[in-house]
């Protein structure tokens, strides 16, 4: 069983594994506990047991860095909240930047997978991220302290 958010990657792996026998792809975001539970239920239904499992999310350093930013944001916000600065972070999802747009143009499977990952059904724009940043910088967000604002079309919901 290949569990991956990226259909294109899974298809490549399935082709390589075909010589060994049957293999299946199950779309899953391993950061979503409910999705992992659905994966486990599917494995049990198909095979009745699980012999081995490993997680290769493809970005331990990137993931650690993201969590480091979140931790630093929240710690600094707590340390300095009484003095007045509001320290927050923005966590954008898939945003229509030149690298993302080029990647999606080059690979239709990637484009479909990225779009499917976002419950809104599309990727965000730089203007949407900018609007969130402007809100965080405004008095309208005066009670936001240590906030990590996800601008991701529902990806992390």
Q: Give kind and range of the element (H or E) at residue 60.
A: helix 60-80
Residues 50-57: contacts with CB under 8 Å, at least 24 apart: 55/30, 57/30, 57/31
155 included as an active-site residue: no
Exactly one of 31, 44, 62, 102 is catalytic; which is it? 62
Phi (first) and psi of residue 35, to 5 degrees: -65, -40
29 token code pair: 């975001």
73 token code pair: 């944001």
Answer whether 19's CB lies under 8 Å from 44's CB: no
The position carrying tokens 């969590």 is: 67
Three-state DSSP at 49 gives coil
Per DSSP, 124 falls in state: B
Per DSSP, 95 falls in state: B
Catalytic residues: 62
């Amino acid at each position: 069983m290949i569990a991956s958010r990226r259909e294109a990657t899974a298809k490549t792996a399935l082709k390589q594994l075909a010589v060994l026998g049957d293999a299946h792809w199950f779309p899953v975001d391993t950061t979503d506990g409910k999705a992992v539970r659905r994966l486990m239920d599917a494995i049990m239904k198909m095979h009745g047991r699980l012999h081995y499992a490993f997680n290769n999310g493809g970005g331990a350093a990137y993931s650690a860095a993201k969590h480091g930013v979140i931790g630093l944001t929240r710690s600094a916000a707590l340390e300095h909240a009484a003095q007045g600065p509001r320290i927050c972070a923005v966590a954008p999802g898939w945003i229509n930047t030149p690298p993302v747009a080029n990647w999606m143009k080059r690979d239709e499977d990637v484009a479909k997978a990225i779009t499917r990952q976002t419950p809104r059904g599309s990727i965000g724009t730089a203007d949407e991220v900018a609007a969130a940043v402007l809100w965080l910088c405004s008095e309208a967000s005066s009670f936001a302290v240590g906030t990590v604002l996800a601008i991701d079309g529902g990806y992390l919901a």
